[in-house]
Structure 1
Amino acid sequence: MRYFRTLGATAFATATGLALVGTALAGTGAAEAAPASLYAPSALVLTIGEGEDPATATVTRAVTLNCAPTPSGTHPAPEEACAELAAADGDFTSLTAIGEDRPCTREWNPVTVTGDGVWQGRRVTWSETYGNPCELTARTAATTVFAF
């Protein structure tokens, strides 16, 4: 019986000591090292620019899109855009399939669209160049991701 009392007292002392150490560490900033969220980050910068090379295109429009833990950013429809990206598992290429049969001129006035950042914790860099603004609209009309 004495063995169990000693063991119980030791367990109590250990638990109490750990609680005191935890309280002391909380004041030193150790608790601040814990992750702020359990969600993998999803934060993107989307751009539309004039030119055929993403590195040299003149950016005419740009927005931010944060999808985790909640949709936000400067994108005009973050909830819809995040839902579309989630359905596509972050694959921008699957969002730019040819939609309606929209006639476009064959003029060469290149427009480059980019998506850069982090999607569900993994680095994402994507770009696509279209022959002109009409082709861009025809390719992205079915999605709100590029509607900014």
Structure 2
Amino acid sequence: MRYITGAVALGAALVLGTLATTAQAAAPAQPTRTGGLYAPTELVLTVGQGESRATATVQRAVTLSCMPGARGSHPYAKAACAQLRAVAGDFNAITGATSDRLCTKEWNPHVVTADGVWQGKRVSYSYTFANPCAMNIDSDTVFNF
């Protein structure tokens, strides 16, 4: 009788061990430390009026996610993600692009910001344009909302 009880206990332990291993394998993957709670590419973009990020009044804000597909509240999410991918997430390449468009030289500063994660790397970017005309250059889709 002792042998039967021992065999039953051993069999139960093996079954429970197998179930526990299967449950762990089926559990959803936990976020990694590099991604945190964010997806690999999740951004909040803002446009504000003022001379710096600290003093600007935010006029508009949108979300942009480029992984696995383009989505968010950005009206041109697909084009904005394509533009960011083309410059490998370098916001300076976007805001510093030249245009044939002529603008007045008035000082009416507007600030654009990007905060979040781009392909797993933390992003905190801001750039001040002299006026709305300079901000709305034809080549910029990312901050066109």
TM-score, length-normalised on structure 2? 0.76
Unpaired segments ≥5 residues, structure 1: 1-14
Count of residue pairs the alignment pairs up = 130
**1:31 matches 2:27:** yes
Aligned pairs for 1:108-127 (under 5 A) are: 108-127=107-126
Instruction: Tell me the distance in 1 between the aligned counterparts of 2:97 and 2:20.
Output: 61
Q: Which secondary structure state, in structure 2, belongs to the residue aligned with residue 135 of structure 1?
A: helix
Counterpart in the other structure of 1:4: none
What is the CA-CA distance between 1:106 and the residue it aligns to? 1.4
Shift of 1:102: 2.0
Q: How does 1:64-83 map to 2 (within 5 A)?
A: 64-83=63-82
Cα distance, 1:41–1:105 mapped onto 2, change above 3 Å: same
Trace 1:85-96 onto structure 2 (pairs within 5 A): 85-96=84-95
| Cα shift readout 1:103-140 (whole Å, capped 9, x = no counterpart) | 211111100011111001110011110111111113xx
- 1:142 aligned onto 2:143: no
Letter in 2 for 1:46: L
- After superposition, the Cα gap between the structure-2 partners of 1:35 and 1:95, relative to the gap in structure 1 and judged at 3 Å, is same
Task: Give, in angstroms, the shift of residue 55 of structure 1.
Answer: 1.5
In structure 2, what residue type is equivalent to 1:121?
G
Q: Indicate whether 1:131 and 2:130 are aligned.
A: yes
CA 1:136–1:24: 2 relative to 1, 3 Å: closer
State the Cα distance separating 1:22 from its structure 2 match. 2.2
- What TM-score does the superposition give when structure 1 sets the normalisation length? 0.75
Identity fraction in percent:
53
Aligned partners of 1:55, 1:17: CA distance in 2, in Å? 57
CA RMSD of aligned residues (A): 3.0
Deviation at 1:143, TM superposition (A): 2.6
SS of equivalent to 1:129: strand
Secondary structure at 2:136 match in 1: helix
Distance 1:48 1:111 in 2: 7
**Cα displacement (A) at 1:23:** 4.0
Per residue, is there more helix in 1 or in 2? 1
